[in-house]
Chains A and B, each alone.
Chain A
Amino acid sequence: MIEGILINGLVKAGLYALLATGFSLIFGVTRIINLAHTALYMLAAYGLYYFGQELGLSLGVSIALALVVTVIIGALTYKLFIERIREHHMTVLLITLAFAIIFEEAMAREFSRDAVTVPSFISGYWEVAGVKVLIQRWLALGTAFVALIGLWLLLTKTKLGTAIRAAGQDAEVANLMGINVPRTFLITAGLAATLAAISGIVIGPTLGVVPHMWTDPLIMVMAIVVLGGLGSLKGSVIAAFILAYVEVIVCYSFPEHCYMSRAIALGAMILTLMVRPEGLFGTSFEEERL
């Protein structure tokens, strides 16, 4: 049982971490609560299905196309709609929610509400310590790991990454320092969309792809981002592990109360925030006056 908890928790945490870092990135840098973030994950999974199954393209091509299309949709939505109303916070919340609904309904019209299946990249199981896990899930975990390392390198080792972090800390001062803030924000939105698309592509084959698959992870992703501390990618990853493990442990210990796992994970988040209101790795309120 312990092995089951450890391995399933790890795989679940990988997905959560990948989704949450994207959400946290766009949240921390541009201060947008992007409710359409997980809708992009859903779009990418459908993209993979469409290019791979309906058009019959090869796996590599369909992955690339699904990724590119999703990122373009994400960046365009930001550029055309969200950017011009960025200072009205509640309006942004509403518009991103509206877009998530539009994406969902568009997919439901195109592919019906029933689940479609995308074949795994590599089929079969891989047994570790007596726990059978689909190789696709290991692949997802590995991809998440690589993507997170890549993101970390991008943010810390490149000029673009420095610009993104600077714009996130103080957009006005960053602007004065000669950083093209609107462009940096657009790139951030694209990066976040990329992370969402990657997770959709690698996780899609292990789940049934349905139009409403974006609502379920959205709540957990938001909880993770807040628990980790706003804009802290390290915090998001650690919080992803905490909440994923809480869910898996509850499910394993009380199989008949598995439906409670989400509520208990969220309760854990609330209690943590009571002790540390700025999240695990966030800047405290005294330092940052919103």
Chain B
Amino acid sequence: MVHPSRKRDYKLISRLIRDFNGDVLTVPGRVIALIFVFVLLLFPLANNDPHILRILIMANIYVVFAVSWDLLSGYTGQMNLGHALFFGVAAYVAALLNIHYGLDPWLTIPIGGVAAAIAGLLVCLPALRLRGPYLALVTLALPFVAVAIVLLFKSTTNGDMGLYGIGRIFSSFEDPRDNMIVTYFFSLVMMLPSVLIMWKLTDARSSIVRLGIIFHAIREDEIAARACGINTVRYKFIAFAVGGFFAGIAGGFYAHFLRVVNPQDTLGVFLSFEVIMYTVFGGICSIYGAVAGVYFARAFVWDYLLTDVVEVDVGIKRMSLAIIMVLVLLFMPQGIAVWIRDKIEKTCPRCKLNNAFFRRNCRACGAELHVVKKKSIAPDMSSG
């Protein structure tokens, strides 16, 4: 006789396994994501070249940054062209705390994140009044104001030169190689939970957190959302605070990893555009799109293919990346990851569940997935 509570435990575990089998392994996109996480976790076993690890750590930082932009601008539709503001604020806060008060990275990074979240709340104040392109341009202008403030307080921030000599993430081992490996794992410890949290927060089908569906509603039609009784002001504040917080986490990690914080690299307009570039390239308004965009465009194409495999100067690199972007977006305007997902997954027309592309019937409700288009009576020239 098994104790009832134990029985509940078995039930829970068996339910988890069943869910895993049924809901993860049957959908190609989720299998790919799972494999990807395992590859990231086991990567140092296969290759511990510090150069490659460095590329991946930078990619992890950019992933958090890009996903936070996606949460704010992709989901809520609050087009933010100055996301570097949050990154820079957190980087400066973390760097100053570390240099002047000697706080450790595990403290300065979250404090930087909180500072960026406060910055997000402040940015949200004008954002409540502005819409669309107006908001985009105001947010674009804000990092410039921040750079001016940095330059104004030259004695604290060291002006154009920036702050340097910031403490490392991890430096207890003798061998810098080992330090790099540990730093790599720390970057994963930062990146994986951040992305998971943001992914769960924006999940439109979640029954626990209503955030995702409300963000969609605000983006699609704010007036209609307000008419439905949604306090759009509160949710915009939440979006800005959460987006700012995670961008700040990325910024703080960046400060401790590169150990240099200067206005051009952390508050520059190109950083803001870069994050949009990766996210739109991978697929806007889908968390995995931002992840895929960063790993593909930044880590693979920019840092590996154009730096290590074919060694070209920066000009050619920028030009090749721009040409790749144009060509890819021309044929997949919704982004590369979303395009691939649409190819390997099929949404059930009845219950809206995602299925593998090779299935004929939906795995849950059994509805036919590939409904053959009936021949229209009028001759259709386009379909041939």
Residues of A within 8 A of B (CB): 27, 33, 81, 84-85, 88, 90-91, 93-95, 97-99, 101-102, 104-106, 108-109, 113, 215, 219, 222-223, 225-226, 230, 257, 259-260, 262-264, 266-267, 269-270, 273-274, 277-279, 285, 289-290
Contacts and interface: CB of A to CB of B under 8 A. Distances in A.
Interface residues of B, number: 41
B318 interface: yes
Contact of A108 (B79, B133, B277, B315): B315
A165 B333 CA distance: 28
A259 B145 CA distance: 11
B152 interface: yes
Interface stretch (B35-43, B124-132, B351-359, B367-375): B124-132
Interface string B196-220: 0000000000000000000000000
Given A105-B319, A260-B151, A277-B134, A95 B329 contact: yes
Contacts of A27: 133
Nearest to B335: A91
24 contacts: A81-B326, A84-B330, A94-B325, A95-B330, A98-B323, A101-B322, A105-B318, A215-B269, A223-B141, A226-B133, A230-B134, A257-B152, A259-B148, A260-B148, A260-B151, A262-B144, A263-B148, A266-B144, A266-B145, A273-B129, A273-B130, A274-B129, A278-B134, A285-B131
B333 A88 contact: yes
Contacts of B130: 273, 277
Given A94-B276, A263-B149, A264-B148, 9 more contacts: A33-B133, A33-B136, A94-B281, A105-B319, A219-B141, A225-B137, A226-B137, A230-B134, A270-B145
A95 B326 contact: yes
A93 B131 contact: no
B325 A270 contact: no
B179 interface: no
Contacts of A285: 131
B333 A273 contact: no
B329 A91 contact: yes
Contact of A102 (B144, B284, B319, B334): B319
A88 B334 contact: yes
A75 B109 CA distance: 48
Nearest to A224: B137
Contact of B280 (A91, A225, A259, A274): A91
A277 B131 contact: yes
B330 A85 contact: yes
Contacts of A104: 318
User: Quick one: which of B145, B149, B334 has the most chain A CB within 10 A?
Assistant: B145
Contacts of A84: 330
A146 to B, nearest CB: 28
Nearest to A97: B273
Contacts of B72: none
Nearest to A268: B141
B134 A279 contact: yes
A275 to B, nearest CB: 9
Given A97-B277, A277-B134, A259 B326 contact: no
Contacts of B140: 219, 222
Interface string B310-321: 000001101100
A106 B323 CA distance: 12
A269 B139 CA distance: 11
Contacts of A230: 133-134
A262 B146 CA distance: 12
Contact of A90 (B131, B284, B325): B284
